[in-house]
């Protein structure tokens, strides 16, 4: 455990660094939508690096298949949950902090919220 194994350790360290910067970004960025950039992008590559390093450490089929499943699942779900959070917060009226235009006008917003509510027969 004490010897330095470059193929295993460099991905793990890079991944841990990205996870830490994601947490710092989550604390420091000014509003929810900017924080979503930090959490979605950095956590994907950070966890991918750590899983690759762990896979190289084990180097057995049982471990590699499970890690491949977790990795694939992370790549599929992280953007999805960022999309869901951004959409829910925006449609429910959490105002973003903007310095540029907001091209998603109020009319389109109301229509989409109505459609979403109709899907489930919500209130």
Partner 1 sequence: MRGVSLNILLAIVWTLFVGEFSLRELVIGMLLGFAILSIFPLSLGTGNYVGRALALVRFVLFFARELTVANIQVALWALRPRPPLHPMIIAYPLRLRGDNGQTVLAATITLMPGSVAMGFNPERSVLYAHVIGLESPGAARASLKKVEDALLPLYGQGVAPAPAALEENA
Partner 2 sequence: MIIDLALGIVTLSVLLVTVRVLRGLSWGDRIMAFDFLSVNLVVLIALIAVKTKLIVMLDAALVLSLLGFLGTVALTRYLLLGRVMK
* Residues making contact with partner 1 (CB under 8 A): 17-18, 21-22, 24-25, 28-31, 33-34, 36-38, 40-42, 44-46, 61, 76, 78-80, 82-83, 86-87, 90-91, 96-104, 108, 111-112, 115
| Half-sphere exposure of residue 4: CA atoms within 13 angstroms, side-chain side | 3
Alpha-carbon dihedral of residues 18, 23, 24, 25, nearest 10 degrees? Answer: 90
Helix axes 61-91 and 43-58, enclosed angle (nearest 10):
170
Determine phi and psi for 91, rounding to 5 degrees: -70, -30
Specify the residue, 9 or 19, whose C-beta has the smaller distance to partner 1: 19
Binding mask 63-92 for partner 2 (x = CB under 8 A): x--xx-xx--xx--xx-xxx-xxxxxx-xx
Give Rg (Cα) of the chain.
19
Owner of token pair 């793990």:
12
Note the residues at the interface with partner 2 (CB under 8 A). 1-2, 4, 8-9, 12-13, 15-17, 19-20, 22-24, 26-27, 32, 35-36, 39, 43, 46-47, 50-51, 54, 57-58, 60, 62-63, 66-67, 69-70, 73-74, 77-78, 80-82, 84-89, 91-92, 94, 116-117, 120-123
């Amino acid at each position: 455990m004490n010897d330095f194994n470059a193929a295993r350790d460099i991905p793990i360290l890079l991944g841990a660094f990205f996870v830490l910067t994601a947490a710092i970004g989550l604390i420091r960025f000014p509003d929810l939508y900017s924080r979503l950039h930090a959490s979605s992008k950095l956590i994907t590559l950070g966890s991918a690096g750590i899983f690759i390093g762990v896979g190289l450490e084990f180097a057995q089929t049982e471990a590699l298949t499970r890690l491949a499943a977790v990795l694939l699942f992370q790549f599929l779900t992280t953007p999805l949950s960022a999309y869901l959070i951004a959409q829910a917060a925006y449609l429910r009226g959490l105002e973003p902090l903007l310095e540029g235009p907001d091209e998603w006008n109020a009319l389109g917003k109301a229509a989409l919220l109505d459609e979403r509510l109709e899907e489930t027969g919500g209130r």
